[in-house]
Structure 1
Amino acid sequence: MPVRRAIHAGSWYTDSGPELSRQLEYWLNQADLSHGPARAIIAPHAGYQYCGACGGHAYRQVSPIVVRRVFILGPSHHVRLSSCALSSAQKYRTPLYDLHVDTQVNAELEMSGQFEWMDLDTDENEHSIEMHLPYIAKIMENYRHQFTIVPILVGSLSSEREACYGRILSSYLADPQNLFVISSDFCHWGQRFRYTYYDRSYGSIYQSIEGLDRAGMNIIEKLNPTEFTNYLKKYGNTICGRHPIGILLQAIQELLRNDHTQAASLKFLKYAQSSQCRNMNDSSVSYASAALVFE
């Protein structure tokens, strides 16, 4: 039984189960339940010292009593993919407890002919899925034997491919027992990221970065995938989870087209930056958390 190890435990987050549980509980308690129960969330995937608190605002919106399956869509940072890849592991290790992969859903998705498989090395070298696993384990700890996960590594997709995966996943999004976790940081700013867009009308660089991020967040809240694609083309904002976000927006649109009784509302709940950039030698990464509900 292939097991995906918790590679970043002990570096990006603590490898002590009790300490990790206390940290996550603290961040969850610091957040308000204001836009739930969430059917999908957007949350960051950096080291917890930078974004753990921000992520708590997204996970606070989840009602674990109804969740029986968690889809995790994370961008590929190290391996170039032009499609989406399913996990070949059957278990994912966390310092809290192991999470089990839903092999039945993997088989269903494979039948579509649109997915490939990621090997264990690719999986373990990537952090965008792993950084969500402790939070998922924490919120689901009272139901740990009653849910499965579906990790999906998302490649560099065209808007047409995003729409294709949105159509495939929309039927799963329609099920209230499924939670979608969209893994994304926002603007990566600085010379080391080769991105230094600066609109001086905002004032300081960090204020320009926030203005740029919030413009994108406002478009995502409108649930308009075409407008989001156009925004990315115009500004080149280095939102690393842009393709998982694009798939979510396409899935929402497909679901709403097929069920006119549904209404969707996505809201951003928290925004943060790893540091405040004030000169061109600085750098930062932005983090944002959001929740989607159906009404």
Structure 2
Amino acid sequence: MAGVRYPVVAGSFYPTSEALIELLEDFFSDLGEEGSGRRITAGVAPHAGYVFSGYTASRTYKAIFEDGLPETFVILGPNHTGLGSPIAIYPSGKWLTPLGEIEVDARMAKAIARLSGIVDLDELAHKYEHSIEVQVPFIQYLAEKAGKEVKIVPITLGIQDEDVSEDLGRAIFEAGRDLGRDVVVIASTDFMHYGPMYGYVPFRVRADEIPNRIKEWDFRVIRRILDFDVRGMFQELREMKHTMCGPGGVGTAIVYSHSAGALEAELLHYTTSYEVSRSIEAVVGYASIVFRR
């Protein structure tokens, strides 16, 4: 039976109702016309509170809109809650946000599950997870702008490594090809989580150096992403004990993009929570990246 997924971080990670529309209008004040070229295969966007990372996330969606919205966004986010299946696709139904409802592409979801050796159809893993939810208002807002019906396939990842990336990237590509879907993959991730709040203070760094050092550590990973180097990305993460939370989704986006004929990747925006909070007790990095044919 088709389910309904209700918002759990509306009013905390992002505003509700008119305040949300006003914030999105501010983020997209430089939005151009919807394109039709369809070169973008995938994007990376953060999932923190909009006050910290919303503008960065908007850069990914702005690029996709101006390239041309797809039929279906396959959105991969880490499973922060530990609930449900380790690799879980929301099977069918609708997701609700303060902007209304958006339909899950049930045929695409089932095709990915069939073609993958590791995916389960499972709603529970999504019930309280924020990493995918915070992406949805961006998609709804731009779909309304374009006057289009756009669907989503939400996938949470409790296991994230090279093998998961290869399996899911291949399965998403083959499912889209078999169904004739125009698909863009979104990898929902934040980058370095640094500070006592996260239990991560691995190096002796002077307080005034922390923001620049976090950027340095993140860019070691970002360079691998821009090179389509999945194994190199995971190698960097392990060597630094880096706390990027969604590498499996990014690896999947790279594998999918390679299969879909992408030839280049571009970093559109980078920032950290320090730019807003001015706190070094908990600093998180955020990046907007797109992959293009």
TM-score by length of 2: 0.86
Gap runs ≥5 in structure 2: none
CA contact under 8 A between 2:225 and 2:233: conserved in structure 1? Answer: yes
2:64 partner SS: coil
CA distance in structure 2 between the partners assigned to 1:228 and 1:292 by the alignment:
16
Contact 2:71 2:181 in 1 (8 A): no
Cα distance between partner residues in 2 of 1:53 and 1:44: 10
Alignment correspondent of 2:22 = 22
Between the aligned partners of 2:48 and 2:164, the Cα distance in structure 1 is 26
Give the letter for the 1:180 counterpart. Answer: V
How far has the Cα of 1:137 moved from its partner?
0.4
The answer (yes or no) to whether the contact 1:204–1:278 under 8 Å persists in 2 is no
Seen in structure 2, the aligned counterparts of structure 1 residues 199 and 62 have a Cα distance that, compared at 3 Å, is: farther
- 2:3 aligned residue: 2
Matched residue SS, 1:39: strand
Residue in 1 that maps onto 2:62? 60
Cα separation, 1, equivalents of 2:25 and 2:6: 23
Corresponding position of 1:118: 122
Deviates more, 1:196-205 or 1:19-28: 196-205
Counterpart in 1 of 2:268? 269
Structure 1: runs of 5+ lacking an equivalent: 257-261
Q: List aligned pairs for 1:84-99, cutoff 5 A.
A: 84-99=87-102
Q: Give the match for residue 109 of structure 2.
A: 106
Q: CA deviation at 1:2?
A: 1.8
User: What secondary structure, in the 3-state scheme, does the structure 2 residue paired with 1:67 have?
Assistant: coil
Match of 1:259 in 2: none
Cα distance in 2 between the residues matched to 1:155 and 1:227: 21
- Per the alignment, do residues 145 and 169 of structure 1 end up closer, same or farther by CA in structure 2, a change over 3 Å counting? same
Matched positions, count: 284
Q: Which residue of 2 aligns with 1:287?
A: 286
Between 1:215-224 and 1:36-45, the stretch displaced more is 36-45
For residue 82 of structure 1, report the CA deviation from its aligned partner: 7.5
Equivalent position SS for 2:212:
helix
TM-score (structure 1 length as normaliser): 0.86
In the superposition, relative to structure 1, how do residues 178 and 194 fare at CA in structure 2: closer, same or farther (>3 Å)?
same
Asked if 1:70 is matched to 2:73, the reply is yes
Letter in 2 for 1:51: S
- What whole-Å deviation, never above 9, does each CA across 1:33-92 have from its counterpart, x for those lacking one? 9x9853211000011111111111111101374411111111111116784211145100
Residue type of the alignment partner of 1:116? D
- CA shift, 1:240, in A, is 0.3
Are the structure 2 counterparts of residues 95 and 275 from structure 1 closer, same or farther at C-alpha, using a change threshold of 3 Å? same
Whole-Å separation in 2 of the counterparts to 1:101 and 1:263: 26
| Matched residue, 1:49 | 51
Answering whether residue 137 of structure 2 is matched by residue 134 of structure 1, we say yes
- After superposing the two structures, state which structure 1 stretch, 7-16 or 111-120, moved more: 111-120
Verify the 8 A CA contact 1:274 1:284 in the aligned structure 2. Answer: yes
Give 1:104 shift. 0.8
Q: Which residue of 1 aligns with 2:187?
A: 182
Measured after TM superposition, the shift of residue 161 of structure 1 is 2.7
Structure 1 residues 213 and 31, CA, compared in 2 at 3 Å: closer, same or farther? farther
Q: CA RMSD in A?
A: 2.8
In 2, Cα distance between equivalents of 1:273 and 1:71: 26
